Structure 1
Amino acid sequence: MTVRKNDKFIILAVSLGVILNPLNTTMITVALPAIQKDFQLSSTNISWLIASYFIISAIFTPLIGKLSDIYGRKLIFLIGLGLVVVSSILAPLSPNLPMLLVARGIQAIGTSALFPAGVGIIRNTIQHNQNRVIGTLAVFATTSAAFGPTIGGMLSQFGGWPVIFYVNLPILAIGIVLTLIFIPKDQKNKATSYKLDGIGILLFSSFITCWMIFLLGLEQRVQIGTLILSIVLTVIFYMYEKGKDEPFINVNFFRKNLNIAVIFGQYILSTVIFFAVLLSFPTFIQTVLGASSQMAGIAMLSLSIFAMIMTPIATRWMERAGFRIPLLTSVLVGLVGVILLFTVKDQSPLVWIGVVLAVTGISNGIQNIGLQNLLYKFIRVEESGIASGLLMTSRFIGNILASSIYGVAFATGMNVGNMSMMAIVLSVVAIVLIPGMLFVTVHEKKKIG
């Protein structure tokens, strides 16, 4: 990839911002027992440290993406970095759970700004090989989530749970300096007036929150009331936005461009498989196989490394062959990876665990970058922020679904039988991905080819 010197620093600045949300999503998981002990919390209370982050990120990512389209990507990117600085200082000093939840909430809002604003910056400033640059961002976003538990475990071991927040500060310092120096000033279009759709934002926040609460509650029981409320709010949001001239989410655009809606759906399902595997295997390796946390971290590297390796390879493959063959290959490889979960037993060697994780990583590496670049084929540059925000919201929804599957599958404990139960559910998800991928790639071929 040939880029100018300044472009390299722009890409680095955006990449440093992009890693913060997925990294902080998974890095805290290994610190939860220590936080629970320090604050004397119940399992339900501690689960909200994870759930609240997903909910806030799911709501604010498209909202801030829209704001970045309106008010400027560099401004929103810097505000996001600043909020993460504040949260990274406040969180380790929290004396109780409510204060820690507030700090994590600020962190979620700040990191939610960085991906949509960052993609907008790339699409506005990088003129050549944009797909490869976005592929670089995908590498950072995907692999930082997979590396999170390993990094968090090492940091917590040496400095306790507060250190996982302080680790953000050097990343933020470099990112802020690079952003101020190398990212160009925002070009504002004064001839265009914008109105924020306040009611649409409120309805969107409400129905997303209700769906998240319903999905998180599946581990205990099916909450019929919450399900009905979620459906009703979703319908109200759709009907309201359909009649708006300047809606928060252009639902008419999705209705007329079904392929884009399917791309978001495919991204959700792809994330479900990846995150379910990411959640379950560290505990399985330690609890069932009896390996140390250090060995579990090493084994999990197979997932992230192969996802990272495949992303640039897949980007070049798609540049030459289009999207259809690579994406169809990825879902078939993903189905193989899910089927391999049935081979994982209580005596499985760690080498074989690494092979199983590698297959899932290969599949996700192709799908992650392929679906992102396919989306941007149908999205105008000025819509980059909101489109990127919705893509990340899709990822958060996938994370919540994966968490729900994990909770239900392993409700009676971590064992081989429950791993097979999870594999059955993920097999259904992998099979559903196949027709969806056929649809979006045929549509892409007609439009682009």
Structure 2
Amino acid sequence: MTVGKNEKLIILAVALGVILNPLNTTMITVALPAIQKDYQLSSTNISWLIASYFIISAIFTPLIGKLSDIYGRKLIFLTGLGLVVVSSILAPLSPNLPMLLAMRGIQAVGTSALFPAGVGIIRNTIQHNQNRVIGTLAVFATTSAAFGPTIGGMLVQFGGWPIIFYVNLPILAIGIALTIAFIPKDVKNKATSYKLDFLGILLFSLVIPCWMIFLLGLEQRVQYGTLLLAIVLTIVFYMYEKRRNEPFIDVNFFRKNLNITVIYCQYILSTVIFFGVLLSFPTFIQIVLGKSSQVAGIVMLSLSVFAMIMTPLSTRWMERVGFRIPLLASVLVGLLGVTLLFTVREDSLLIWVGVVIAVTGISNGIQNIGLQNLLYTHIAPAESGIASGLLMTSRFIGNILASSIYGIAFATGMNVTNMSTMAIGLLVVAVILVPGMVYVTVKKKKNG
């Protein structure tokens, strides 16, 4: 089979897989009130439905990236698509929360396989303009995330929350057909030996849930035993990974590159604010303002669309003036956006709610692309693989922290008072971002 003639179809097949993770991440935010009502859940329980997805994604994305190198990208990509098919069919039939959590877990494993395997397919089959193609995949992912709440809102309005899983099926059918027909067979690399860091994977799989349990328990009391266990496991994980030649998470990469470490921390904090707003407002609009899921989805467009619009605009801005001014401006706009959250009340106009969350979208749009591009000015091309993988892990960690804050803030229900509590948490994060952004931009005032 000639790859050259089928490049666009190969790219389309990969793109259809790549969009599934961000699409399913954001679609469900609008469906949370309906799921919460059907299963009689608390906000803490519902936050586990969100956080578990990111915990599993954070663990499996780097792991499956290595597995795709061993067993072949096409095989892993098809396996990921197959797992999403299973979860999309069975999740709507879940009789209780544990079953739904299990199906979301399978979905998380499947979608985690699609990005690393998909990028590997592009690098092995597309011989020219690889960076441009990978950039196009990023646009696909951003666009699907931007329209996820709107799509989810319309689907829930007309078919209930189960339909947000069924909408995956036509995408999956086309993706599987294109993958089988046009992506070349895997060629195993016998010259390279691989060793999976099973103990590192196990420790990391324990560290993240321990911290999650501790954070979600803060609303009731401080669980000192859980905190101690989380700290001990974190130290053990760090000391073990530091001595590994092929670690699951390369902690030495962070230890030797302080600037890069701070950039990752900034990316985590930026994600906390963005996803905290994305997670809270669909439910707030439906429960407190009394609007439909469809209206909530439309209002949420102002967050993601403004973030998406700012990506190319801020890229050109940084090319002209460097990183410092745009990134510092973004944290100040972010502070303004979080402060405006305190003005949202039960009698707020929808247009004002849209304006408030749009400000957060503007800030995130600048920070998202700015921090990514700044990161790549600090690393050699040979390190771009590990850097991009760790960046995605940072995003998942930010999503997990946002889910924890959501669970704590709304433990007693969705209301204006608890929204203010959420705003306080996000304001603390926004303030911490300021000195960090000053630090990471002081040495890199110009791109390249």
- Partners of 1:385 and 1:121 in 2: how far apart? 14
- Partners of 1:150 and 1:413 in 2: how far apart? 24
Structure 1 window deviating more from structure 2 (208-217 vs 412-421): it is 412-421
- Partners of 1:81 and 1:336 in 2: how far apart? 41
Q: Secondary structure at the residue paired with 2:247?
A: coil
Structure 1 counterpart of 2:221? 221
Structure 1 window deviating more from structure 2 (161-170 vs 141-150): it is 141-150
**Contact 1:74–1:183 under 8 Å retained in 2:** yes
- Partners of 2:221 and 2:145 in 1: how far apart? 29
- Partners of 2:114 and 2:276 in 1: how far apart? 25
1:266 aligns to 2:270 (yes or no): no
Structure 2 counterpart of 1:374? 374
The aligned runs of 1:154-193 (5 Å cut-off) are 154-183=154-183, 188-193=188-193
Structure 2 counterpart of 1:201? 201
Fraction of identical pairs, as percent: 83
Structure 1 window deviating more from structure 2 (41-50 vs 349-358): it is 41-50
State the one-letter code of the partner of 1:206: L
| Count of residues in Structure 1 that have an aligned counterpart in Structure 2 | 444
Structure 2 counterpart of 1:14? 14
Q: Secondary structure at the residue paired with 2:334?
A: helix
Structure 2 counterpart of 1:421? 421
Structure 2 counterpart of 1:355? 355
Superposed CA RMSD: 3.1
Structure 1 window deviating more from structure 2 (314-323 vs 211-220): it is 314-323
- Partners of 2:203 and 2:28 in 1: how far apart? 30
How big is the shift at 1:295? 2.5
**If the length of structure 2 is used for normalisation, what is the TM-score?**
0.87
How big is the shift at 1:439? 2.9
**Contact 2:87–2:106 under 8 Å retained in 1:** yes
- Partners of 1:141 and 1:346 in 2: how far apart? 33
Structure 2 counterpart of 1:280? 280
Structure 1 window deviating more from structure 2 (100-109 vs 48-57): it is 48-57
The aligned runs of 1:375-390 (5 Å cut-off) are 375-378=375-378, 386-390=386-390
Structure 2 counterpart of 1:112? 112
State the one-letter code of the partner of 2:203: L
**If the length of structure 1 is used for normalisation, what is the TM-score?**
0.87
**Contact 1:115–1:388 under 8 Å retained in 2:** no
**Contact 2:43–2:410 under 8 Å retained in 1:** no
State the one-letter code of the partner of 2:406: Y
How big is the shift at 1:269? 0.4
Structure 1 window deviating more from structure 2 (402-411 vs 184-193): it is 184-193
State the one-letter code of the partner of 2:190: K
Q: Does the C-alpha gap of structure 1 residues 357 and 167 become closer, same or farther in structure 2, counting only changes over 3 Å?
A: same
Unaligned runs of 5+ in 2: none
Q: Secondary structure at the residue paired with 1:432?
A: helix
How big is the shift at 1:133? 4.7
Q: Does the C-alpha gap of structure 1 residues 37 and 415 become closer, same or farther in structure 2, counting only changes over 3 Å?
A: closer
- Partners of 1:367 and 1:376 in 2: how far apart? 14
Question: Structure 1, residues 309-351: CA drift from partner, whole Å, max 9, x if none?
Answer: 2223333444454433333332222222222223333433222
- Partners of 1:121 and 1:365 in 2: how far apart? 28
**Contact 1:23–1:145 under 8 Å retained in 2:** yes
How big is the shift at 1:71? 4.4
Structure 1 window deviating more from structure 2 (117-126 vs 16-25): it is 117-126
**Contact 1:69–1:382 under 8 Å retained in 2:** no
Structure 1 counterpart of 2:257? 257
**Contact 1:241–1:247 under 8 Å retained in 2:** yes
- Partners of 2:253 and 2:208 in 1: how far apart? 20
Question: Structure 1, residues 403-443: CA drift from partner, whole Å, max 9, x if none?
Answer: 22233334454444443333333222122222322333345
Structure 1 counterpart of 2:76? 76
How big is the shift at 1:68? 3.2
Question: Structure 1, residues 233-263: CA drift from partner, whole Å, max 9, x if none?
Answer: 1111111111112222221121111222222
- Partners of 2:338 and 2:189 in 1: how far apart? 49
Q: Does the C-alpha gap of structure 1 residues 44 and 349 become closer, same or farther in structure 2, counting only changes over 3 Å?
A: closer
**Contact 1:216–1:400 under 8 Å retained in 2:** no
Q: Does the C-alpha gap of structure 1 residues 402 and 95 become closer, same or farther in structure 2, counting only changes over 3 Å?
A: closer
Structure 1 window deviating more from structure 2 (231-240 vs 301-310): it is 301-310
Q: Secondary structure at the residue paired with 2:161?
A: coil
**Contact 1:11–1:122 under 8 Å retained in 2:** yes
- Partners of 1:119 and 1:367 in 2: how far apart? 23
**Contact 1:17–1:111 under 8 Å retained in 2:** yes
Q: Secondary structure at the residue paired with 1:109?
A: helix
**Contact 1:39–1:96 under 8 Å retained in 2:** yes
**Contact 1:65–1:385 under 8 Å retained in 2:** no
How big is the shift at 1:222? 2.4
**Contact 2:123–2:130 under 8 Å retained in 1:** no
Structure 1 window deviating more from structure 2 (370-379 vs 245-254): it is 370-379
**Contact 1:85–1:172 under 8 Å retained in 2:** yes
Unaligned runs of 5+ in 1: none
How big is the shift at 1:193? 1.3
State the one-letter code of the partner of 1:128: N
Structure 1 window deviating more from structure 2 (434-443 vs 302-311): it is 434-443
The aligned runs of 1:430-449 (5 Å cut-off) are 430-444=430-444, 449=448
- Partners of 1:273 and 1:235 in 2: how far apart? 27
Structure 2 counterpart of 1:289? 289
**Contact 1:288–1:346 under 8 Å retained in 2:** yes
**Contact 2:54–2:400 under 8 Å retained in 1:** yes
The aligned runs of 1:233-248 (5 Å cut-off) are 233-248=233-248
How big is the shift at 1:164? 1.6
How big is the shift at 1:207? 1.0
How big is the shift at 1:139? 3.8
How big is the shift at 1:66? 2.9
Structure 1 window deviating more from structure 2 (297-306 vs 72-81): it is 72-81
How big is the shift at 1:135? 4.5
